[in-house]
Structure 1
Amino acid sequence: MNAWRKSTRSHANQDCVEVAPLQAATGIRDTKDRARGHLEVGSSSWTELVRTLKG
């Protein structure tokens, strides 16, 4: 099982996005619709996205 986690800035009663490290990518899913599945983003793309968001 993957270790899905929410942002530490999320409140317990709010929906948000969760992420999990996968074998060759990062998984992203919506907490309010987990059954729908997840999106996989390549490791280098995920790293660049996080770097851009942190500014």
Structure 2
Amino acid sequence: MAAKFEVYQDKKGEYRFRLKAGNGEVIASSEGYSSKQACLQGIESVKKNAADAKVEELSGD
């Protein structure tokens, strides 16, 4: 099973998305958006930008 994005409304009425791995585990979740369209644009941004994103390790010091 492939990963999938789920779009939903939270208790405050904001739209959010979560990215689930093929095994059903949530691997990312979004901020709240005021509209469904803005939420869908957030998903497209993740799809477009995540593939080339750098990984930075932050020190706890």
Q: TM range, normalised to the smaller chain?
A: 0.3 to 0.5
More strand by share: 1
Q: Which has the larger radius of gyration?
A: 2
Taking structure 2 as the reference length, what is the TM-score of the superposition?
A: 0.40
